[in-house]
Structure 1
């Protein structure tokens, strides 16, 4: 097998593993009766206790504003979150806050996933965790830079420029 075939084979394995990992989240969201993006919003809210706005989630999770807006609207209608004004933020910059019902949902469907992610990382050595992050970051940066033209074109199309 030549080097390029080996690289392609390894990339396919990497992609399949990534898709299987992401599939875990999708399946759990589905089992919870929820679409993936609303589930990911709840994951963000439960993950580290920080204050999240719609804009923050769009930036951190790389979702389109409309997708996050739709997800948050669904979560509000389901009674899982409310939007609240935070005095430390601009007027139109509301934070997303879990309701009691949202906390209960997260305890059942989200916190076990966060705990499993934490346990998986804890099962690795410090060096393995750093290596995992470094390799993932290197791959991300390379792909992002390689596709810069397409990404910029995509942004222009989405903003109508």
Structure 2
């Protein structure tokens, strides 16, 4: 094993966890679970209705995790679930007036902070950062699939 690559990999993972912790702490300080925070973030960001399945697919959460967070948000009157016009079994998620107020107070300032921080990197650096992160994810996925294939034999 290449020690230099291994050390940098550890640093990368620590940085990733540090970033995740920043968001988790922000959510906690806002009185929200991590999942509840990201659901509100996503709905605020997109400003349109989404289903539970779409949230799971886009944010890589399990159905149970999202369902639990949605029930909690609904019990706090922050969202309402409405049957989808195309499929009554699927529920669309909408912010209630209280949910919109909370998102304006908690999510919008964070989005502005993200925009400010990322714009300070410069567009070229930010684009390169995104490209390299995506490349890393794709390459790691390939390598992990190789491991999975050997484990299942």
TM-score, normalised via structure 1 length: 0.84
Gaps of 5+ in 1: 153-161
- How far apart, CA to CA, are the structure 2 residues paired with 1:150 and 1:72? 35
What is the aligned-residue RMSD (CA, Å)? 1.8
1:35 aligns with 2:57: no
Alignment counterpart, residue 15 of structure 1, candidates 13, 21, 34:
13
Distance 1:75 1:128, change over 3 A: same
**Shift of residue 13, structure 1, vs aligned partner:** 1.4
Residue in 1 aligned with 2:84? 86
Alignment counterpart, residue 101 of structure 2, candidates 100, 104, 108:
104
**Shift of residue 149, structure 1, vs aligned partner:** 6.1
3-state SS in 1 of match to 2:7: helix
- How far apart, CA to CA, are the structure 1 residues paired with 2:20 and 2:110? 12
TM-score, normalised via structure 2 length: 0.89
- How far apart, CA to CA, are the structure 1 residues paired with 2:36 and 2:42? 10
- How far apart, CA to CA, are the structure 2 residues paired with 1:39 and 1:90? 27
Gaps of 5+ in 2: none
Alignment counterpart, residue 130 of structure 1, candidates 106, 127, 137:
127
- How far apart, CA to CA, are the structure 1 residues paired with 2:148 and 2:29? 33
